[in-house]
Amino acid sequence: MKTKNLKIAAVLVMAVTFMSFTALIEKNVDVTESTVNWKGYKVTGEHEGTIKLKEGTLMFDGESLVGGNFVMDMTSINTTDLEGEYKGKLDGHLKSADFFGVEKHPTANLKITNVEGNNGKYNVKADLTIKNITQPVEFTMYTKENSASAFVKIDRTKFDIKYGSSSFFDDLKDKAIYDEFDLNVNLKF
């Protein structure tokens, strides 16, 4: 009798275990059709541009977003609101050790660690790695059909990017650059 009950219990545990496993679907992001636009702010204005994705995936459980991982090509930082000499100078400065140090850190990574929500609107927690420094970030991501979008605000000083920050340097006046910058992400998969 005892053995029979143990066998029944074991079969029930196995059945529940098998039913709880669902097929996760990994969707590769089309890096040529996806966009990452940045915008940085300073006392006297703002600048904007693009960063190319090197690779990316989103994980779904059925129709629900459950995870993802992205690699950004930091060598592709491009300013879109300037032309000529000024564009070249800003692009070079953003790639230098003062900012993203792309020679030593050619990529940045974002790994989704937690997702809450449904019906195409998700509160996402992720680990963002820039310059080999990993910090948590939170944002809202929207999914619809074969696309996803997010607006992410990032404090650059948490990644040891302090150039022109009034949080670290006094007397910058109108040369100060705000600590936070924005990423507007539109993904196709």
In this model, does residue 34 exceed pLDDT 60? yes
- At 70 the pLDDT is 98
Tell me, what amino acid is at 41? Answer: Y
Alpha carbons within 13 A on the beta-carbon side of 84: 1
Least confident of 18-22, 53-57, 116-120, 180-184: 18-22
**Confidence grade of residue 19 (pLDDT, cut at 50, 70, 90):** very low
pTM: 0.85
> Measured between alpha carbons, how far is 138 from 106 in angstroms, rounded to an integer?
23
Spell out the residues 6+ positions from residue 106 whose beta carbon is closer than 8 angstroms to its own.
Answer: 73, 74, 75
Residue 32 to residues 72, 94, 144, 186, Cα–Cα distance (Å): 12, 23, 19, 11
> Measured between alpha carbons, how far is 119 from 124 in angstroms, rounded to an integer?
14
Per domain, the residue ranges of the chain are: 24-188
Least confident of 2-16, 33-47, 66-80, 105-119: 2-16
In this model, does residue 21 exceed pLDDT 60? no
Q: Which token pair is 85?
A: 């000499």
Residues 79-106: pLDDT tens digits?
A: 999 999 999 999 999 999 999 999 999 9
**Confidence grade of residue 7 (pLDDT, cut at 50, 70, 90):** low
Q: Mean pLDDT score of the chain, rounded to an integer?
A: 91
CATH topology of domain 24-188: Lipocalin (2.40.128)
Residue 115 to residues 21, 56, 58, 189, Cα–Cα distance (Å): 18, 17, 12, 19
Residues 133-183: pLDDT tens digits?
A: 999 999 999 999 999 999 999 999 999 999 989 888 887 888 899 999 999
- At 2 the pLDDT is 60
User: What percent of the chain clears pLDDT 70, i.e. is strictly above it?
Assistant: 88
User: What percent of the chain clears pLDDT 90, i.e. is strictly above it?
Assistant: 82
